[in-house]
Structure 1
């Protein structure tokens, strides 16, 4: 059990958040989520109104049973009134089934739309967003936050409408029966509403902290229980430390959960006592009124108590739903935060569409400058570079020289801060996304494979690829023989991120996946770093024979990879310091020669 000081610290943290004021959410924006289903909602509200009106007839039937049927011993009337009670119950039950079906379908449709909107928007964001965000945080927004509002969307909205309709109709019926008893019945309502708002605002802030800690926990699980995370923890002896860290985070989540459900319980208990006392006090007031010659009858008093009983449940539900609504606003705030993230890489309004077979592959960079953040120094400075169509170009340089950043810009994972990048004279910012993806194939140093079969991983690049095409691409990547020798061949599941394969095998699989599209421009970013020299040379020869006019850009740390390139570009501190063939650069005995010497040591 947690000690009292920990609970006090958590309470203080929540109080500090409250000092910042309530979470601001545009309620109209929340309501707009339901607009596509407005006619279904209109039907639902209509059905709820019918059940409320039909259900409210029960107290009046009871009044007639007491004052007319029983008092006058009218058996026929009694049978008819009892039949009316049963009929009301049957009609109400049937309509409520339809209400549940409509509410569930509409609610799940809204949840589906919200999940797809968030996921689609995240797909549009640039690499800059994902490098600054934790994977677990992103997953938490989609699963925990959107899942957290599911109850509000699928059930609470319907319950809110139903309870509000019941309260409204019950209130009218109570005033019709006797206005004095009706006013007396609502004495506790203003106090209840005040308590409800106070507790709702508190739980709103608790919900925000709760979701933040859930995101922390999701991130920790994602990072530490992935294959890479397990390898890191076991090889560094940090398993115990990670368990302790997870324990602290989980304890915070548990405390916040308790805080969320217990905040204001003493105040609620007082409201419950007042509401529970109302029927007894109504009997007392009714007796007094009947003793003074009032028009209140026994049937009226019994009907009033029945209306109060019918009112208490929906009224308490309304108060609790008000609290749940405010808590859900915290979740909507986090969801809208992602939806409001600016898409910094956008497609041109009238993009240039180029078919891959029309691409020559000439690339030019003019005055390209780029930095990852405004407060960081430029990674590339005033880069001018021309890569002829069909040429083999090597990009080399020390770690941090900017060579991989050049690859990100070519693939438009980032946009340049100044200058331009063109392919066949067209600025890549003017190309359609599909055209750029079709003309440029990228293979990175860190191969990413799906938890699927080898064939499914390859077809991720080209869904309609035939088995023959898979084999052809795998042969070029020098991986076919290994895959074919597996018991299940191309049906073998590679495991998450491909950890059932070696580093070199994964690189060859990702290369085969890219080659399956046969792009006219191929960008290899340390894509053969895990391969031996012999395999690397075989792949290079296979690429040359596959498509002679393909432009191949190889970003390499191992200089033997680019030895036979048509030209080698040497980067140093974000600038091009040398350019030429291997022999030319070696003869100059400058920066390239230094890198080559370091590579041989």
Structure 2
């Protein structure tokens, strides 16, 4: 197991190297806060209302302390020494009304910020998902699925609180702090100096704490990515089968536990970072009233007019300053922490797809539909070392409309690569691939893919019903259309033998079905699409001989009336091909019919003889 996992670690290192290369290629983020603010642009109206509510609510919050001074000096202890009940009732009534109004505005404000924040988060997740859908196939072959899932779930989810609460918190707390400071200055500028003398020190300390938390947040998200990748690999159907086959369940659990312990340690560090800072801030803000009492005594002794109402009102306002100030410091820390998550999200959004349509791309032309030509094609995988040989080297060939063309040859010769270049899953390094007479790079990708159907060796079915899997090729297709496609793929009778027929749930990756059944459903899905060109990438190589014959009959029926390209390992399946291309070392070394190639006595004849033994 150590050898296998060692290989896995090496693959992980490759992923990391590929990611570092992507990071280097991605543009830097000069204005992260500006980009975050841009996410809120579609919600200007709701934000405007929110800002107004925040301003009004913050303004109202500092009025009661000022009324408290009046309640003390004019209501409870007026100059004549007798409480003024009417004035006191009036002031208390105003304070109650302000508190009720502020609470109602707070509920409205919370609903608005929650709505806007979650919509922004949802839009960001969809934007990232859509961008990843546009990335080229090579991106996914070099990046672990779990890492991609982590960006969508953990990173976007990690900034949810910031998106939901930052604007209202920053505006509301800022206004409250400023209003409180103004009120304190109005009450006594001398006491205000005493109360705020250490605030600059707190701001500097907050920045240092924020930098530490941002570094921990980055490591935490990287660990979450690794955990997601392990979960995706080990708990998939294939991963479970592999672990049970080699009795490695405990090893898988140990691998997950090691990363889990790392995650626990990072989470504790993240939650504890800054706790001493906030404890000091709380202590500082809590002892200020006591200091104010002492300072007021010195002021009174020095002849400054400071009334009891002024002291009570000042300490009340100072208390109102405490929580908004703590809130601002926490938001500043959250922004510094979440900046690492936003950077990871924007890092993916800044990746440019290697394969895109050109501004002058056009649909596939009807004339010559089904004709495919390779013109001196050279191909090297984008992440392959520069010193390694090209996968395809000067391949030139023509497949006429309606022909059944087969590509055969030793493993690693480049057969599948040829089939990937036709639907433009990769772009050629040099030369051209022409589809219906046009370079595929000049064709609209949607139009190109609409005219091509692919049946691969690894059939992928969703954990859904048979009907839903078939309709993936043609959303909205009627049951009659599904049945026609299934009949063409020789799977209709099998489907009808199931208790739920077309509503049968196939299970994860179709594991409730046999290999032959899955493959025939995949063929039916392609028939429902009805493409002009059919690509069969070793579609029967993983099947037993009985299933292969059934599937081969379905493939033969599916091939009628359309150009068919078959990448084959079993040469017996392509004996009837109109033309067979023998690929070796990235070159087409032979071409012709089965009989012609056997008579030539070359590589094809040798491979065929080996399979007959």
Partner of 2:497: 485
Indicate how the Cα distance of structure 1 residues 23 and 576 shifts in structure 2: closer, same or farther if over 3 A, else same. closer
C-alpha distance in structure 1 between counterparts of 2:144 and 2:261, whole Å: 21
8 Å Cα contact 1:69/1:75 also seen in 2: yes
Q: Deviations for 1:168-203, whole angstroms, at most 9, x for unmatched residues?
A: 111111111111111111122111111111100000
From 342, 347, 364, the counterpart of 1:337: 347
8 Å Cα contact 1:461/1:517 also seen in 2: yes
In the alignment, structure 1 residue 145 sits paired with structure 2 residue 172: no
Partner of 1:111: 121
8 Å Cα contact 2:582/2:589 also seen in 1: yes
Indicate how the Cα distance of structure 1 residues 234 and 540 shifts in structure 2: closer, same or farther if over 3 A, else same. closer
Partner of 1:75: 85
8 Å Cα contact 1:403/1:571 also seen in 2: yes
- Aligned ranges for residues 295-444 of structure 1 at < 5 Å? 295-354=305-364, 360-372=369-381, 373-375=383-385, 376-444=388-456
Q: How many angstroms does 1:455 deviate by?
A: 0.5
Q: Deviations for 1:399-436, whole angstroms, at most 9, x for unmatched residues?
A: 10000011111111111111111111111111112211
In the alignment, structure 1 residue 52 sits paired with structure 2 residue 61: no
- Aligned ranges for residues 28-177 of structure 1 at < 5 Å? 28-72=34-78, 73-177=83-187
Q: CA RMSD in A?
A: 1.7
C-alpha distance in structure 2 between counterparts of 1:547 and 1:27, whole Å: 55
Q: Deviations for 1:98-134, whole angstroms, at most 9, x for unmatched residues?
A: 1111111111111011001100100000000000111
Partner of 2:22: none
Give SS of 1:500's match.
coil
From 584, 589, 592, the counterpart of 2:604: 592
Give SS of 1:400's match.
coil
8 Å Cα contact 2:520/2:554 also seen in 1: no
Give SS of 2:402's match.
coil
From 196, 202, 207, the counterpart of 2:212: 202
8 Å Cα contact 1:188/1:271 also seen in 2: no
Give SS of 1:516's match.
helix
From 284, 302, 320, the counterpart of 1:274: 284
Partner of 2:250: 240
Q: Deviations for 1:309-364, whole angstroms, at most 9, x for unmatched residues?
A: 10101111111111111110000011011101111100121321137x76630100
Give SS of 2:512's match.
coil
Q: Deviations for 1:29-56, whole angstroms, at most 9, x for unmatched residues?
A: 1111112212321221111111111111
Aligned length: 579
Give SS of 2:441's match.
coil
C-alpha distance in structure 2 between counterparts of 1:459 and 1:225, whole Å: 28
Partner of 1:560: 572
Partner of 1:184: 194
Q: Deviations for 1:153-174, whole angstroms, at most 9, x for unmatched residues?
A: 0123322221111111111111
C-alpha distance in structure 1 between counterparts of 2:85 and 2:499, whole Å: 84
Out of 194-203 and 151-160, give the one that drifted further.
151-160
Partner of 2:8: none
Indicate how the Cα distance of structure 1 residues 358 and 499 shifts in structure 2: closer, same or farther if over 3 A, else same. farther
From 559, 562, 571, the counterpart of 2:583: 571
C-alpha distance in structure 2 between counterparts of 1:264 and 1:119, whole Å: 34
Q: Deviations for 1:273-306, whole angstroms, at most 9, x for unmatched residues?
A: 2221101101111122123221211111100000
Out of 67-76 and 127-136, give the one that drifted further.
67-76
Q: How many angstroms does 1:550 deviate by?
A: 0.8
C-alpha distance in structure 2 between counterparts of 1:142 and 1:364, whole Å: 40
From 429, 447, 457, the counterpart of 2:459: 447
Out of 374-383 and 145-154, give the one that drifted further.
374-383
Give SS of 1:461's match.
coil
Indicate how the Cα distance of structure 1 residues 574 and 244 shifts in structure 2: closer, same or farther if over 3 A, else same. same
8 Å Cα contact 2:368/2:401 also seen in 1: no
Indicate how the Cα distance of structure 1 residues 103 and 189 shifts in structure 2: closer, same or farther if over 3 A, else same. same
C-alpha distance in structure 2 between counterparts of 1:503 and 1:549, whole Å: 26
8 Å Cα contact 2:408/2:415 also seen in 1: yes
Indicate how the Cα distance of structure 1 residues 471 and 318 shifts in structure 2: closer, same or farther if over 3 A, else same. same
Gaps of 5+ in 1: 1-21
8 Å Cα contact 2:489/2:557 also seen in 1: no
Give SS of 1:522's match.
strand
Q: Deviations for 1:2-37, whole angstroms, at most 9, x for unmatched residues?
A: xxxxxxxxxxxxxxxxxxxx9976221111111221
8 Å Cα contact 2:516/2:548 also seen in 1: no
Partner of 1:7: none
From 215, 219, 223, the counterpart of 2:229: 219
In the alignment, structure 1 residue 286 sits paired with structure 2 residue 280: no
Out of 145-154 and 316-325, give the one that drifted further.
316-325
8 Å Cα contact 1:107/1:154 also seen in 2: yes
8 Å Cα contact 1:359/1:520 also seen in 2: no
Out of 57-66 and 373-382, give the one that drifted further.
373-382
Partner of 2:484: 472
TM-score (structure 2 length as normaliser): 0.92
8 Å Cα contact 1:160/1:321 also seen in 2: yes
TM-score (structure 1 length as normaliser): 0.93
Indicate how the Cα distance of structure 1 residues 212 and 249 shifts in structure 2: closer, same or farther if over 3 A, else same. same
Out of 267-276 and 328-337, give the one that drifted further.
267-276
C-alpha distance in structure 2 between counterparts of 1:544 and 1:444, whole Å: 15
Indicate how the Cα distance of structure 1 residues 540 and 445 shifts in structure 2: closer, same or farther if over 3 A, else same. closer
Partner of 1:551: 563
